[in-house]
Amino acid sequence: MVEIVINGIIGSIKAEFPDHRIYTSTVRQGLVEPCFVVVPLKSYVSRKFGDRCIHTYTFAIHFFPKDRDSVEVCFNAQERLSDCLKQIKIQEVKAHCFDFTSHIDDGVLTLECSYNVHTLPIKTYEVMNEIKIEKGAN
């Protein structure tokens, strides 16, 4: 399920920043800036009525600008990200960000955003192929 949410985040970021690279795993060397790194931070599931569940996912999105001394570039990216990530597409459903925080450290913008995904398991039933009716004598 978390991969589906990551794909929704990546799709929204690509639409807003088409020329930036997006990484989903740790890059030790060779990071091409400007770029984003999307990292899942935490998740939890709360059970609701019946088989219904709410999955909550929190992500860190790091923005590495080309010029690390430009705070203005980070603030501009933060505003654009908050707009494009407030609603993401997960398969055919839209998920809304309900918590959004950001900060800048050493010229890198870090945003944390959380999404709720409601799920209901699909139940399968045995299909009857044939119905036999017997008439009884009265």
Counting the structural domains of the chain, the total is: 1
Residue 131 in any domain: the answer is: no
Residue 133 in any domain: the answer is: no
d(CA 134, CA 9): 59
Helix residue spans in the chain (DSSP H) = 2-16, 71-84
- 29: CATH: 3.30.2000.10
Residue 125 in any domain: the answer is: no
**Tell me, what's the pLDDT at 92?**
81
Place of tokens 């999105």: 61
Quote the domain boundaries for residue 59.
2-119
**Tell me, what's the pLDDT at 128?**
67
Per-residue pLDDT of the chain (138 residues; tens, 9 = 90+): 889 999 999 999 999 999 999 999 877 788 899 999 999 999 999 988 888 888 999 999 999 999 888 899 999 999 999 999 999 998 888 899 999 999 999 999 999 999 998 877 666 667 767 777 777 665
Residue 24 in any domain: the answer is: yes
Residue 48 in any domain: the answer is: yes
Residue 37 in any domain: the answer is: yes
